[in-house]
Structure 1
């Protein structure tokens, strides 16, 4: 017996113009798509349930191709600093939050962005004025840097004699640590943070999942297993929360290479949670100038960024992933990091039938795009970074590099597969914001702005495909997910209006009416 979805518009995304009236689903699989009259007549004996869309629009289910689900939940639960726009506001926010904490408790904040207030990066001296006898830890929005106060440095054992760890930088002035730690140096503090238990991880994951449903997501490709001291326990929390009954959600887990040995020993087969690629970080981020560039930063000629691993080390890690018969997912923001990653993949090709993915690609080069065309690879991009990082990124990179920076249209025109994500909690989870950024290349509030690097604007069809078919291509499942077509899985995102009939700024007012996974309604606006 099956379900007939009707009463609205069905955007199949088979092509830009394909619109149907109804969909018939049986056992979680789309059996047929067409007019309501035809499907009702054809399947009258097996239609046991009918769902009236009441004028809403049915799309293939949205999937975020890159985020950190537990981290997103933490952001919702913890002190969120991402909208703080001045040091004065930051100080007051920290003071107010500290009043809620117990004596000696760590004050932890998420996501400060000094580019919003055009002042100094908060350092230990700034934080010491707020609290000097209990530790403060604030992560930067990119999560490739954090700042702590003197007490945090003391507890971590960081002083003038402490050397930079491999792949990290302890920022110092005249030999004295400032409290600002970049990339792997963060681990010196993260290793002494208060212990997080399974109960907390479960709460964060449930909070995240509920929010993902409300934003129309039927699935996500997420990297979380290396951050909570118990990789197997974290994996099993995913199994527990996404139980396939009360919560259905298609979670593809990126497995950090440092815990791959443990995770790959787990042989549990789960209908909704699967191990995806081996995750590797090749460099940092542009915000902290740790993204690895082939030429120095325009606004800081003394550095070209930070390589987390040498080319030889990166190649060895990719080779190890191949022993698990796994593809890799490599974080590459700078063009030199991308070059290192391409070289490692060329040396150790992906297993047959699978695709590697390269994540971010905020700075590329023509010669690297030519090499990418020869690889079985998906480029995992986050369009929202255009709205967040411009115009300050222009100062970092200079005019010469801009044509190949955040160049999503160029990558698609080269015939490369691209998927779309948010990188939440770094950026907002809302897929409409990602689609808006891909098409307009500006902040929503900057009405009338022509868009940064406007030649790189995507069409609406291209932008939506990033979060549907593109995400399916990233896991080599484009014959199963990402379209509304016979034989595909019945995962749907139901929106209140048709994006194709609205102006871009009007998209921001469109509501998610339903989120449907395996033909099961996991979220319904009128009920929730």
Structure 2
């Protein structure tokens, strides 16, 4: 028996103007969309319930194309310092948190962002020692490509002036060659290995916390990368299977598989039946770091630090070998690439080892590109996985990193679409806020909410329709599901995001007052306000 949804607007997103009165659903699929009276007459014998939207607006289910679901839950559970705006405030927040930490135990915090502080001072060992010399401290940077620790943390990790930078990592040092406690990319593991494991009860709690928040924000699915960060990749995957049970909890999770655990994860899933809501996606590869820590790999030096052009996680040849192995596993790849040189290396690898026919690779972030690279991308079966919210967070300081000349090809979302490249939209939570309305706002305005200017790189603004497609059709295209997800039409899955108001009738700043009325997966209400 079926459900007739009506009483509000149905924004199918088939095109920018298509609005319908009602949608009829049976067995988790859209049967038809159209006038309420017509659908009620045509399907009267099989309609078992009618649900009135009470004037709200229904969209295809929003899907975050790039996030870290467990990491998002951890951020909600741990000390979050991403909104702290000064070193003094940071020391105060950490000092207060120490009151509940026994001496000798680690104080952990998430999300420092020195670009919010006066003079952009990184809270290194010397600053953290003012907070405590009796507790080891670790704070991850907002990008998660760096962390800081205090002197006790360095001492416990046996990191000193003689310690060699690990491959793909960088230990920041002072003028005397002494580590400052600021660790980039793979160097973070020297500290992280000391952190006591929370256990999988905690991991499960973090995932459930994350899912509840994703539902509250209107997400019906997400493409997440989590399987290589919690000690046991197999057990992490089993946690997803257990939590997203397909009965009480329905959420369409596509899990990227870090290349270091690809063999064991694929071997595990080869011998078990497919899960209706949890599936493996592409093999994840990191090629560089982030612009904030100057570890994104650029073809020319940073404008505000000519001594470096960033850092490659793998050599060009090493990256190609990883892609080659992914092809041996019959898998597409998802490559983290922020700088234009890392993008060039990624394209070289994809051209040398093409994906299997019918599948698509994806490239994640693409914050700095070059025109000739976009031409090469047009020849590849690839989806570009972008995070619009980074424009609001990273400007204007990113202008210092790149200089005016490179800004034309930086965070250039409209240019990507104008080159007829497929783009999907995500948040990269916990690095950025999970709220899709903030992502839509950033894509359309290219500024922070309520700021009064025309937006950074104004020509790269997207329309609301283009922005919504990133989180609907684009996310479906990223995993080859565009014939069953991403719009509201006959044959498509009954995954819907219902908002209290129609975004097309509001100004962008007014979107921030809109809330989620319902989140519906497989015609099951997972969240209701």
Shorter-chain TM range is over 0.9
Counterpart of 1:429 in structure 2 is 434
Counterpart of 1:509 in structure 2 is 513
Q: Map 1:468-507 to 2 at 5 A.
A: 468-507=472-511
Residue 514 of structure 2 aligns to a residue in which SS? coil
Q: Map 1:113-512 to 2 at 5 A.
A: 113-119=113-119, 120-173=121-174, 174-267=176-269, 268=272, 269-446=274-451, 448-512=452-516
The separation in 1 between residues aligned to 2:472 and 2:360, in whole angstroms, is: 17
Residue deviations 1:441-485 (CA, integer Å, cap 9, x gap): 000031x21000000000000000000000000001100110000
Residue 4 of structure 2 aligns to a residue in which SS? strand
Residue deviations 1:178-198 (CA, integer Å, cap 9, x gap): 000001000111111111211
Residue deviations 1:348-394 (CA, integer Å, cap 9, x gap): 00111110000000000000000000000000000000000000000
Residue 433 of structure 1 aligns to a residue in which SS? helix
Residue 265 of structure 1 aligns to a residue in which SS? helix
The separation in 2 between residues aligned to 1:88 and 1:175, in whole angstroms, is: 27
The separation in 2 between residues aligned to 1:368 and 1:523, in whole angstroms, is: 42
Greater CA deviation, 98-107 or 212-221? Answer: 98-107
The separation in 2 between residues aligned to 1:82 and 1:204, in whole angstroms, is: 18
The separation in 1 between residues aligned to 2:357 and 2:217, in whole angstroms, is: 35
Residue 401 of structure 1 aligns to a residue in which SS? helix
Q: What is the deviation of 1:134?
A: 1.8
The separation in 2 between residues aligned to 1:195 and 1:14, in whole angstroms, is: 47
The separation in 1 between residues aligned to 2:484 and 2:329, in whole angstroms, is: 24
Residue deviations 1:413-450 (CA, integer Å, cap 9, x gap): 0000000000000000000000000000000031x210
Residue 233 of structure 1 aligns to a residue in which SS? helix
Residue 49 of structure 1 aligns to a residue in which SS? strand
Q: What is the deviation of 1:261?
A: 1.2
The separation in 1 between residues aligned to 2:46 and 2:103, in whole angstroms, is: 64
Residue 331 of structure 1 aligns to a residue in which SS? strand
Residue 267 of structure 2 aligns to a residue in which SS? coil
Residue deviations 1:466-512 (CA, integer Å, cap 9, x gap): 00000000001100110000000000000000000111111000110
Counterpart of 1:76 in structure 2 is 76
Residue 264 of structure 1 aligns to a residue in which SS? helix
Counterpart of 2:59 in structure 1 is 59
Instruction: Kindly report the root-mean-square deviation, in angstroms, between the aligned alpha carbons of the 2 structures.
Output: 0.6
The separation in 1 between residues aligned to 2:44 and 2:268, in whole angstroms, is: 45
Greater CA deviation, 364-373 or 186-195? Answer: 186-195
Q: What is the deviation of 1:128?
A: 1.1
The separation in 1 between residues aligned to 2:118 and 2:395, in whole angstroms, is: 14
The separation in 2 between residues aligned to 1:9 and 1:195, in whole angstroms, is: 48
Contact 2:138 2:150 in 1 (8 A): yes
Residue 408 of structure 2 aligns to a residue in which SS? helix
Residue deviations 1:231-290 (CA, integer Å, cap 9, x gap): 000000000100011100000000000111111111232110000000000000000000
Q: What is the deviation of 1:216?
A: 0.1
Residue 129 of structure 1 aligns to a residue in which SS? helix
Q: What is the deviation of 1:102?
A: 2.3
The separation in 2 between residues aligned to 1:454 and 1:195, in whole angstroms, is: 46
Residue 49 of structure 2 aligns to a residue in which SS? strand
The separation in 1 between residues aligned to 2:135 and 2:434, in whole angstroms, is: 32
Aligned length: 524
Q: What is the deviation of 1:309?
A: 0.5
Q: What is the deviation of 1:129?
A: 1.5
The separation in 1 between residues aligned to 2:282 and 2:355, in whole angstroms, is: 11
Gaps (5+ residues) in structure 1?
A: none
Contact 2:103 2:134 in 1 (8 A): no
Show structure 1 runs of 4+ deviating over 6 A.
Answer: none
The separation in 2 between residues aligned to 1:523 and 1:67, in whole angstroms, is: 20
Q: What is the deviation of 1:114?
A: 0.4
Counterpart of 2:98 in structure 1 is 98
Contact 2:497 2:516 in 1 (8 A): yes
The separation in 1 between residues aligned to 2:118 and 2:227, in whole angstroms, is: 34
The separation in 1 between residues aligned to 2:190 and 2:28, in whole angstroms, is: 47
Greater CA deviation, 195-204 or 263-272? Answer: 263-272
The separation in 1 between residues aligned to 2:250 and 2:439, in whole angstroms, is: 24
The separation in 2 between residues aligned to 1:98 and 1:306, in whole angstroms, is: 35
The separation in 1 between residues aligned to 2:73 and 2:255, in whole angstroms, is: 16
